[in-house]
């Protein structure tokens, strides 16, 4: 038998570590140490678990890039001492955080598994225990002295996903996430089935690099029938805006009104990066397929392909924060850096 894996739990907040305040009925965060004592099963796992907690655990709606940087910093500081990391956070913005971390952690050769739950850990019908225990087991998986999972993932309700392919789709069901454009990396049933063909493998000799600067001069504009010019201009005119995710219809389509095309053209001319991302949960942008995307193609909008909005916006923050040149921005965005898009 190999050595016991060392796992670091990073608790940031969220339902998983909450209790009910019975006087008000509201959920509030409790001391993280109680989370471990609430799950005695953890001591049965064949790994050594240590934990670290945000000083003030937060609801994930309050998360921002400075919290992502804190998570990245904790992982960087403890990278050599641990074999895997499990990040506990609320599910509401988990796809954003975990997508962001996938870009911030370059050449990762160890697992970073995000998880949380829909019901508090103390609840009788909680999903927290399974999510936490299996996440730890996955983070501890080793083969030939190497981690089986070498990327940032999200584990929820029996499925392990590549984090930057996920979206939260349900506020009620235990199955809160989906990854329509990329298969699950593992499924937990009676056995833990790993989908080996879909895993990322990083070369050990490539240096692990942590990027902490995320540029937030970005925006998302979702098209809807009837959006008017003033609204678009309001967004395009945001001072210091550097990049925009344009959520288009279907395979990357938009109205063909001249004012829309000329406003986008002017903004691109001034240096704004605009990424075409579909509002559909599945499928891909194919500019030029319909006449309603031909003009966007001519404008040379960046093609988001099958990227999620969560991955697109965090990739923009990362690329802008890394000082990628204007000239190579489009090519780099359209390149899969962490498996976040399907490259044809
Ligand atoms: N509102 C909570 C949060 O995102 C929901 C959850 O924990 O899943 O922090």
**Which residues pair with residue 151 across a beta bridge?**
none
Domain containing residue 311: CATH number: 3.40.50.40
Pocket test for ligand 1, best of 116, 174, 310 (most atoms within 8 A of CB): 116
Same domain, 205 and 230: no
Same domain, 199 and 297: no
- What confidence tier does 270 reach under pLDDT thresholds 50, 70, 90? very high
The average confidence (pLDDT) of the chain is 93
Q: 19 pLDDT exceeds 80?
A: no
Q: 121 pLDDT exceeds 90?
A: no
Same domain, 328 and 226: yes
Find out whether the beta carbon of 97 lies less than 6 Å from any atom of ligand 1. Answer: no
DSSP element (H, E) containing 333: helix 326-333
- The region of weakest confidence among 72-76, 164-168, 198-202, 219-223 is 198-202
Same domain, 180 and 42: yes
Average pLDDT over residues 300-320: 98
- Of the three residues 210, 227, 253, the one that is the final residue of a domain is 210
Same domain, 193 and 230: no
- Of the three residues 189, 210, 231, the one that is the final residue of a domain is 210
φ, ψ of residue 195 in degrees (nearest 5): -90, 80
Scanning 11-153, the segments in alpha helix (DSSP H) are: 33-38, 65-78, 94-104, 128-140
Q: Dump pLDDT digits (tens) for 252-265.
A: 999 999 999 999 99
Q: Which atom of ligand 1 is nearest to the CA of 118?
A: 8
Pocket test for ligand 1, best of 15, 97, 157 (most atoms within 8 A of CB): 15
Place of tokens 């962001």: 100
Ligand 1, atom 4: closest residue by C-alpha? 90
Of residues 124 and 182, more confidence is placed in 182
pLDDT value for 342: 97
Q: What is the DSSP letter of 175?
A: -
Q: Dump pLDDT digits (tens) for 124-146.
A: 888 999 999 999 999 999 999 99
Same domain, 188 and 126: yes
Q: Of 243, 245, 246, give the one whose Cα is nearest residue 223.
A: 246
Domain containing residue 115: CATH number: 3.40.50.1170
Q: Which atom of ligand 1 is nearest to the CA of 15?
A: 7
Find out whether the beta carbon of 248 lies less than 6 Å from any atom of ligand 1. Answer: no
pLDDT value for 2: 65
Find out whether the beta carbon of 14 lies less than 6 Å from any atom of ligand 1. Answer: yes
- Of the three residues 210, 236, 257, the one that is the final residue of a domain is 210
Residues near 108 by beta carbon (within 8 Å), at least 6 away in sequence: 150, 151, 152, 202, 208
Q: What is the DSSP letter of 183?
A: -
Same domain, 235 and 158: no
Find out whether the beta carbon of 59 lies less than 6 Å from any atom of ligand 1. Answer: yes
Same domain, 198 and 283: no
**Distance (Å, whole) CA 338 – CA 341:** 8
Considering the domain boundaries, does residue 343 fall inside one? no
Of residues 307 and 344, more confidence is placed in 307
Ligand 1, atom 5: closest residue by C-alpha? 90
Ligand 1, atom 2: closest residue by C-alpha? 90
pLDDT value for 21: 73
- What confidence tier does 30 reach under pLDDT thresholds 50, 70, 90? low
Domain hosting 66: range is 5-210
Q: Of 101, 89, 88, give the one whose Cα is nearest residue 164.
A: 101
**Distance (Å, whole) CA 197 – CA 184:** 11
Are residues 113 and 85 in contact, defined by beta-carbon separation less than 8 angstroms?
Answer: yes
Find out whether the beta carbon of 92 lies less than 6 Å from any atom of ligand 1. Answer: yes
Same domain, 184 and 281: no
- What confidence tier does 207 reach under pLDDT thresholds 50, 70, 90? very high
Average pLDDT over residues 20-28: 75
CA of 91 to the centre of ligand 1 (A): 5
pLDDT value for 40: 81
pLDDT value for 3: 80
- What confidence tier does 112 reach under pLDDT thresholds 50, 70, 90? very high
Same domain, 63 and 120: yes
Are residues 88 and 11 in contact, defined by beta-carbon separation less than 8 angstroms?
Answer: yes
Find out whether the beta carbon of 120 lies less than 6 Å from any atom of ligand 1. Answer: no
* Cα 173–chain centre separation: 20
Same domain, 180 and 236: no
Average pLDDT over residues 34-59: 84
- What confidence tier does 17 reach under pLDDT thresholds 50, 70, 90? confident
Do the strands 192-194 and 84-88 form a parallel or antiparallel pair, or are they unpaired? unpaired
Catalytically annotated residues: 15
Average pLDDT over residues 199-216: 92
Token pair of 179, please?
Answer: 């990854």
- The region of weakest confidence among 25-29, 156-160, 268-272, 327-331 is 25-29
- What confidence tier does 231 reach under pLDDT thresholds 50, 70, 90? very high
């Amino acid at each position: 038998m190999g050595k016991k894996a060392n796992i670091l739990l990073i608790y940031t907040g969220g339902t998983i570590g909450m209790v009910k305040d019975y006087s008000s009925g509201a959920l509030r965060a409790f001391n993280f140490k109680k989370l471990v004592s609430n799950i005695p099963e953890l001591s049965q796992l064949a790994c050594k678990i240590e934990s670290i907690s945000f000083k003030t655990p937060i609801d994930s709606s309050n998360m921002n890039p400075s919290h992502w940087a804190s998570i990245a910093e904790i992982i960087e500081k403890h990278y050599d001492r641990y074999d895997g990391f499990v990040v506990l956070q609320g599910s509401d913005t988990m796809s954003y955080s975990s997508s962001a971390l996938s870009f911030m952690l370059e050449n990762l050769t160890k697992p970073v598994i995000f998880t949380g739950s829909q019901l508090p850990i103390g609840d009788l019908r909680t999903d927290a225990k399974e999510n936490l225990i299996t996440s730890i087991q996955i983070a501890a998986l080793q083969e030939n002295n190497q981690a089986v999972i070498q990327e940032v993932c999200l584990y929820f309700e029996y499925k392990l996903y590549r984090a930057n392919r996920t979206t939260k789709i349900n506020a009620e069901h235990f199955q809160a996430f989906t990854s329509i454009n990329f298969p699950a990396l593992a499924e937990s049933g009676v056995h833990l089935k790993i989908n080996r063909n879909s895993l990322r493998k990083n070369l050990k000799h490539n240096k692990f690099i942590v990027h902490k600067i995320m540029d937030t001069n970005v925006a998302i504009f979702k098209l809807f029938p009837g959006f008017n010019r003033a609204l678009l201009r309001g967004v395009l005119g945001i001072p210091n805006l550097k990049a925009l995710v344009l959520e288009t219809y279907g395979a990357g389509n938009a109205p063909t009104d001249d004012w829309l095309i000329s406003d986008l053209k002017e903004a691109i001319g001034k240096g704004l990066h605009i990424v075409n991302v579909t509002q559909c949960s599945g499928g891909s942008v194919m500019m030029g397929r319909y006449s309603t995307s031909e003009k966007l193609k001519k404008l040379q909008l960046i093609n988001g392909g099958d990227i999620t909005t969560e991955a697109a916006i965090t990739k923009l923050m990362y690329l802008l924060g890394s000082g990628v040149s204007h000239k190579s921005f489009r090519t780099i965005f359209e390149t899969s850096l962490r498996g976040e898009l399907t490259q044809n």
